[in-house]
Amino acid sequence: MQVVLLSGGSGKRLWPITGEENAKQFLRILPGGESMLQRVVRQLRGAGLAENITVVTGAAQRAQVLEQLGADTVQLITEPARRGTFSAIALACAYLHFARGCSPDEHILVLPVDSYVDDDYFALLASLDDALTTHASADMILVGAKPTYPSEKYGYIVPASGEDVPAVLRFREKPRERDAAALIAQGALWNCGVFAFRLQTLLAQSRRRMDYTSYTQVRTSYEELDAGSLDKVVLEQPGITARVLRYGGAWMDIGTWNTLADVLSADSFGNVRMSEDCRRTQVLNTTQLPVVVMGAKDMVVVVSEQGILVADKVRSSYVLEMLD
């Protein structure tokens, strides 16, 4: 099975310390001093899934991927332009088929790098190879995590039954809290952003939108591909069949400050002094200026040359809307 890692985003919801050349997946602030990218690759290796990894990233981030993973660890391709996940995955599939010689029947596993999960999650991902064979009639198999609260920030998958790998009935993207609670009552799962499929599935979908016979052609005409997500462009279209593999363990998307704060390796980074009465508060300072925080509870404080964020943890997930 070929593994494709999507590592092209900049993580705007982690303003003000992230940007095009300092994207969230490269920040070495997780336990052990790891970045998101390094942690995912390490966990893939532990599950026996690291033999064939292709990383899709932006041109400005190429050097950081190589620096963090090493030139011999993964195959690396860069997007000619910033697009959605459908275009990025289509580009990777064209590369695997034309440049790497992968058969159209090859199984492909696509996942993001900003999920924070235990090692048993990756053992589950390894089982997707067999699941694709068992459920050969499905165009794709997804992974859904059991929700722990009605989040407004995650997408939801509604399964058609209580089977271990049921058919997908429908999707719901980032509902309001009340609607999320209703979905959970119906047995909905958080969408983990994982896709498993046969290579021919994506080759056929991309060729419906662009006539190509080489990887070079896809790169040259890249902006002809749909700019949307794979979910919207493919999965939600009539005639596409999908199943979902259930994950019962803890799953977290650490793309926002309130979720990332829960897994940071320390409460403070940089030139920071916190009073002893601070509780459940994390402070990051990338400048040389001293930052003093006193009596803060359930807060995130981030100081950089680009700006300053002072926020309640729950409200911090709305930083992008506030900036807009």
Span 39-71, pLDDT tens digits: 999 999 999 999 999 999 999 899 999 999 998
pLDDT class of 11 with cuts at 50, 70, 90 = low
Q: Which of 16-30, 213-227, 245-259, 274-288 has the lowest mean pLDDT?
A: 16-30
pLDDT band at 254 (very low <50, low <70, confident <90, very high): confident
Using an 8 Å Cβ cutoff, are 62 and 78 in contact? yes
Q: What is the pLDDT of residue 320?
A: 85
The string of pLDDT tens digits covering residues 260-295 is 888 888 899 999 999 999 999 999 999 999 999 999
Q: 177: pLDDT confidence band, cut at 50, 70 and 90?
A: very high
Of 243, 29, 239, which is closest to residue 135 (Cα–Cα)? 243
**Rounded CA separation 176/173 (Å):** 10
Q: Which of 53, 47, 23 is nearest to 36 (CA)?
A: 23
Q: Please report which confidence band the pLDDT of residue 105 belongs to, taking 50, 70 and 90 as the band edges.
A: very high
295 and 246 in a single domain? The answer is no
The domain in which residue 301 lies consists of 266-323
The predicted pLDDT at position 20 comes to: 63
Give CA–CA dist 9/68, Å, rounded.
Answer: 16
Q: Tell me: do 95 and 173 sit in the same domain.
A: yes
20 and 167 inside one domain: yes
Mean pLDDT of 163-179: 93
- The CATH number assigned to the domain holding 249 equals 3.90.550.10
Given this model, what pLDDT does residue 21 score? 63
CB 303 within 8 A of CB 271: no
At 36 the pLDDT is 93
Q: Tens digit of pLDDT for each residue in 30-47?
A: 888 899 999 999 999 999
Q: Are residues 83 and 33 in the same domain?
A: yes
Q: Are residues 193 and 314 in the same domain?
A: no
Same domain assignment for residues 285 and 197: no
Q: What is the per-residue pLDDT for 32? A: 87
Q: Does residue 98 sit in the same domain as residue 237?
A: yes
Give the HSE-up count for residue 283: Cα atoms under 13 Å, Cβ half-sphere.
Answer: 19
Which band of pLDDT confidence, cut at 50, 70 and 90, is reported for residue 182?
very high
Instruction: Identify the band that residue 125 occupies on the pLDDT scale cut at 50, 70 and 90.
Output: very high
Q: How confident is the model at residue 312 (pLDDT cuts 50, 70, 90)?
A: very high
Question: Could you tell me which of 54, 42, 50 has the C-alpha nearest to residue 199?
Answer: 54
Q: Do 292 and 230 fall within a single domain?
A: no
Pair (296, 211) in one structural domain: no
- 324 vs 211: which has the higher pLDDT: 211
Confidence label for 323 from pLDDT (cuts 50, 70 and 90): confident
Q: Strand 140-145 vs strand 189-198: parallel, antiparallel, or unpaired?
A: antiparallel
Phi and psi at residue 187, in whole multiples of 5°?
A: 95, 15
Weakest mean pLDDT among 7-11, 110-114, 242-246: 7-11
Q: Which of 238, 257, 276 is the C-terminal boundary of a domain?
A: 257
Q: Is the pLDDT at 106 greater than 90, yes or no?
A: yes
H-only helix segments in the chain: 36-46, 62-69, 85-94, 119-126, 128-134, 177-185, 199-207, 215-220, 230, 257-260, 319-323
Is the model's pLDDT at 19 over the cut of 80? no
Residue whose structure tokens are 């088929």: 97
* Count of domains observed in the chain: 2
Does one domain contain both 319 and 214?
no
